[in-house]
Structure 1
Amino acid sequence: MNTKYIDLINQTFDFPQDEFKVDKGQLHFHDIDLMQLTEQYGAPLKFTYLPQISNNIMRAKKWFADAIEKHDYKGKYNYCYCTKSSHFKHVLNEALKNEIHIETSSAFDIDIVERLKEEGKITNDTFVISNGFKRAQYVTNIARLINNGHKNAIPIIDNYEEIDLLSQEIDGKFNVGIRIASEEEPKFEFYTSRLGIGYKNIVPFYKSQIANNKKVELKMLHFFINTGIRDNAYYWNELLKCLKVYTSLKKICPTLDSLNIGGGFPIKSSLAFDFDYEYMVDEIINQIKLTCEEEGVDVPNIFTEFGSFTVGESGGAIYEVLYQKQQNDREKWNMINSSFITTLPDTWAINKRFILLAVNRWQDSYERVLLGGLTCDSDDYYNSEQHMNAIYMPKYNKDKPLYIGFFNTGAYQETIGGFGGLQHCLIPSPKHILIDRDADGNLTTQLFAEQQKSEDLLNILGYGIENKDTRIKIASLSENVT
């Protein structure tokens, strides 16, 4: 009878997989011995495996290159990284090794772009695509970037006032794109995205604000839907509607030469994940070419803005099971030494699921459990996997420590969780490890951030040492008033 945890995984999935294997009862991720990593740095910990960032970028570039060659497509492909997925310097440094471009979403993003230019990581030839609703500081920063010579900066117009706002601060002629306000999936809470300009209004908007404006040149149409790139009727219908707008604009706007299809490539969230990336890229290129041929216009250059796809599969988190609580005859709670709300906030906010596997004790028998975090919040739990309505882990044994890993967590979790700041119930952020390979292919590790300490949080809250002089002054003033 197969009762071991490794038997369960082998029976349920096609296992081992490219990034996962088991050696002597312990899990390896991209040939990283996770128990050795845990013994060296302790748990809880987060890690980023940097080579996977480059790996995914090169995979996507190859899919597009192959499709462009197959269909004799005359446009070029440009891979942009969506910085909001992870702004960390080590992420940008790795991504920029692969001749990519940048997509920004806020004013401070431009400060990062300028810093990267100072360091020689990007040049004026790098496209900087600026999305989002543009408040005053964002407009000012975009204008500064363009005025300083970055002619490949393309602000994407999100509302009717942005042309005028940008024109007031940018010296000379500049390029823009227009974002389409796509219609949301029928089951969504509202009908049309708050971002961009409606399908029917784009051509009139171009005619009224851009066509006769000698200072502005339209270069790009931007298309993105909230559910991302999926092989379903909704996605293909929205793409075709976008292409109708593009061909209509192209006929009256010769300078329009680029189509940005946004991001939204899914990442692996289960060992049962199956997505045919090559087919999707091939069919997108095919549909764009067919539509343009039917309408008698040149095909556009293609831009994508992959964020989660770029960085998501590089990240992981490892926790230790501290204790098991048997709350009734059916529910066993394995309590981890951290919090899901604070370290993996998407599990709480949008019920997102990541790949979850035991790190050690794969040769032990298993049991059904629930996972609980340390906060005193009833929502701080993780109770099921995407492939089954349950979690199975090696049986709890207080004399045999159990470590568990969540994988492909590299996108959004640090920024949504407020990296380096206050956490719910003052649960400290775990230490963060960077994992790379040297020129010979050997693994290297580096401590990027220590686990938060009490004084870190006390400083934020106003109890810290640097606030001592201020407190003394306030106390002195109070005494004088008295």
Structure 2
Amino acid sequence: MNVKFKDLIEQTFEFPTEEFSLENSNLLFHGLNLSDLVAQYGSPLKFTYLPKISENIGRAKKWFDSAIEKYGYKGKYYYCYCTKSSHFRYVLEEALKNDIHIETSSAFDIKIVERLKRDGLIDADTYVICNGFKRDAYIENIANLINGGQRNCIPILDNYEEIGLLTSRVKDRFQVGIRIASEEEPKFEFYTSRLGIGYKDIVPFYDKHLNDNPNVELKMLHFFINTGIRDTAYYWNELLKCLKVYVRLKKHCPSLDSLNIGGGFPTKNSLSFEYDYQYMVDEIINQINLACEEAEVDVPNIFTEFGSFTVGESGGAIYQVLYQKQQNDREKWNMIDSSFITTLPDSWAINRRFIMLPVNRWNDTYERVLLGGLTCDSDDYYNSQQDLNAIYLPKFNPAQPLYIAFFNTGAYQETIGGYGGLQHCLIPYPKHLLIDKDADGRFHVSLFRDQQSAAENLEILGYAADNDTAEHAVYSAEESIHSNKPILK
């Protein structure tokens, strides 16, 4: 009788996968034994597997290159990274190794761009696409960037007022884009996105405010829908509406030569995840080609702003199951040594599901459980997988510690959860590891930051630090990443 956890997974999914395999009873992630990671660093911990970032960027570039060649597409493709997915320095450094560009969404984002430029990671020709609703600080920082020589900084106009604010601060002629306010899916509580300018208003806006403005050149039309790039009637209908606007605007504005289709590639949320990326890219390129051919206008250069797709699959979190509570005859609660609300906020805020697997004890029998966090909040729980509608784990045994890992958590969780700040119920933020891999296949693991201390939290709350007892166990990013930490093979 097949009652081991390993049997359950192998009967339910195609396993092993490109990311996951087993060594005895322990889980390997891209060949790295996670039990070794726990033995060395303990739990709870978060990790960022940097090579996955470059891998996904390379995959996307190949899909677009293939589609461009297949359809004889005359435009170019530009990959932008959406920084709000993760502003983490080492994520950006890894991404920028791949000849990509940047998309920003706030005033502080521009400060990061300036730092990257100062450090030589981007140059004046790097495209900096500035999205979002822009107030004084953001406008001022964009203007400073353009005035400082960032030739390809393109602020995307979100409303009618922004063009006046920008022209009053930018010294010379500059490029802009216009964002389309797309219509939302019928299930949404509102009909039209709050971001951008309505379909029917874009050409009149250009004619009135941009056409005769000697200081502005319209370069880009921006299109994005919240549900992402998916093979649905809704997506294709919105894309065709966008293309109708593009060809109309192109006939009014010869300088328009780029279409930004935003982000929206999904990341894996289960072991049975299926998505035909190449088909979607092929069809997008084909639809743009056909629309422009029919309208007898030149095809645009294509920009994307992949954020979650770039960084999501690089992240993970590991917890220990501390205790099991039998609350009634059917519900067993496995209590972890951290909090879902603080470390995986998407799991409760938008009911996001992640790939979750035990780190060890795969040869043990399994049981159905619920997972509970350490806070006193009733919403601090995790109760199902994407495709199983339940959670199965090796049976709890106080004599044999059980560790569990959540994968593909690299996008948004840190910034939404409040990285380095106060967490719900003052549950400390876990330690954070950086994992890299050299040309010889050896893993380099370094501690970016240790778990938050009580003294750090008290200081944030305004309590005077006790210098005799305060323990600030914070590791400098500069010192940590370049230190000679042990290498796991």
TM-score (normalised: structure 2): 0.95
What's 2:286 paired with? 286
Deviation at 1:304, TM superposition (A): 0.1
SS of residue in 1 equivalent to 2:91: helix
Residues 128/273 of structure 1: CA separation in 2 closer, same or farther (3 Å cut) = same
What's 2:251 paired with? 251
Deviation at 1:464, TM superposition (A): 3.1
Deviation at 1:281, TM superposition (A): 0.3
Letter in 2 for 1:85: S
Residues 467/297 of structure 1: CA separation in 2 closer, same or farther (3 Å cut) = farther
What's 2:476 paired with? none
Residue 318, structure 1, aligned to residue 305, structure 2: no
What's 2:83 paired with? 83
Paired with 1:371 and 1:438, the residues of 2 have a C-alpha distance of 36
Deviation at 1:436, TM superposition (A): 0.1
Paired with 1:12 and 1:284, the residues of 2 have a C-alpha distance of 33
What's 1:180 paired with? 180
- The one-character-per-residue Cα deviations of 1:38-78 (angstroms, maximum 9, x if unpaired) are 10000000000000000000000000000001111000000
What's 1:160 paired with? 160
Deviation at 1:172, TM superposition (A): 1.3
What's 2:472 paired with? none
- The one-character-per-residue Cα deviations of 1:418-469 (angstroms, maximum 9, x if unpaired) are 000000000000000000012323110010110000001000001132899x
- The one-character-per-residue Cα deviations of 1:80-127 (angstroms, maximum 9, x if unpaired) are 000000001000000000000000000000000000001000000100
Paired with 1:224 and 1:127, the residues of 2 have a C-alpha distance of 18
SS of residue in 1 equivalent to 2:56: helix
Residue 443, structure 1, aligned to residue 457, structure 2: no
| Cα pair 1:243 1:288 within 8 Å, conserved | yes
- The one-character-per-residue Cα deviations of 1:148-170 (angstroms, maximum 9, x if unpaired) are 11110000000000000000000
After the TM superposition, which of the residue ranges 103-112 and 432-441 deviates more from structure 2? 432-441
Letter in 2 for 1:439: A
Paired with 2:142 and 2:277, the residues of 1 have a C-alpha distance of 34
- The one-character-per-residue Cα deviations of 1:248-299 (angstroms, maximum 9, x if unpaired) are 0001100000000000000000001000000000000000000000000000
Deviation at 1:389, TM superposition (A): 1.4
What's 1:375 paired with? 375
What's 1:298 paired with? 298
What's 2:133 paired with? 133
What's 2:105 paired with? 105
| Cα pair 1:459 1:467 within 8 Å, conserved | no
- The one-character-per-residue Cα deviations of 1:296-353 (angstroms, maximum 9, x if unpaired) are 0000000000000000000000000000000000000000000000000000100000
Paired with 1:127 and 1:153, the residues of 2 have a C-alpha distance of 6
Instruction: Give the RMSD, CA atoms, in angstroms.
Output: 1.0
SS of residue in 2 equivalent to 1:78: strand
What's 1:216 paired with? 216
Paired with 2:196 and 2:254, the residues of 1 have a C-alpha distance of 22
Paired with 2:32 and 2:49, the residues of 1 have a C-alpha distance of 9
What's 1:123 paired with? 123
What's 2:432 paired with? 432
Paired with 1:238 and 1:348, the residues of 2 have a C-alpha distance of 30
- The one-character-per-residue Cα deviations of 1:380-406 (angstroms, maximum 9, x if unpaired) are 000001101110000000000000000
SS of residue in 1 equivalent to 2:180: strand
| Cα pair 1:338 1:427 within 8 Å, conserved | yes
| Cα pair 1:52 1:313 within 8 Å, conserved | yes
Paired with 2:314 and 2:133, the residues of 1 have a C-alpha distance of 29
| Cα pair 1:80 1:100 within 8 Å, conserved | yes
What's 1:26 paired with? 26
Paired with 2:139 and 2:390, the residues of 1 have a C-alpha distance of 48
Paired with 1:110 and 1:384, the residues of 2 have a C-alpha distance of 39
Instruction: Structure 2: give runs of 5+ residues left out of the alignment.
Output: 469-489
Paired with 2:439 and 2:14, the residues of 1 have a C-alpha distance of 32
| Cα pair 1:455 1:464 within 8 Å, conserved | no
What's 1:480 paired with? none
Residue 277, structure 1, aligned to residue 274, structure 2: no
SS of residue in 1 equivalent to 2:374: coil
Paired with 1:466 and 1:440, the residues of 2 have a C-alpha distance of 47
Task: Percent identity, please.
Answer: 74
Paired with 1:160 and 1:462, the residues of 2 have a C-alpha distance of 42
Paired with 1:15 and 1:371, the residues of 2 have a C-alpha distance of 24
Q: Which runs of 4+ in 1 moved over 3 A?
A: none
Write the mapping of 1:187-206 to structure 2, written as runs, cut at 5 A.
187-206=187-206
What's 1:56 paired with? 56
| Cα pair 1:46 1:432 within 8 Å, conserved | yes
Paired with 2:466 and 2:404, the residues of 1 have a C-alpha distance of 38
SS of residue in 1 equivalent to 2:168: helix
Residue 402, structure 1, aligned to residue 402, structure 2: yes
Paired with 1:163 and 1:252, the residues of 2 have a C-alpha distance of 18
Letter in 2 for 1:117: K
What's 1:339 paired with? 339
What's 2:417 paired with? 417
Paired with 1:46 and 1:429, the residues of 2 have a C-alpha distance of 9
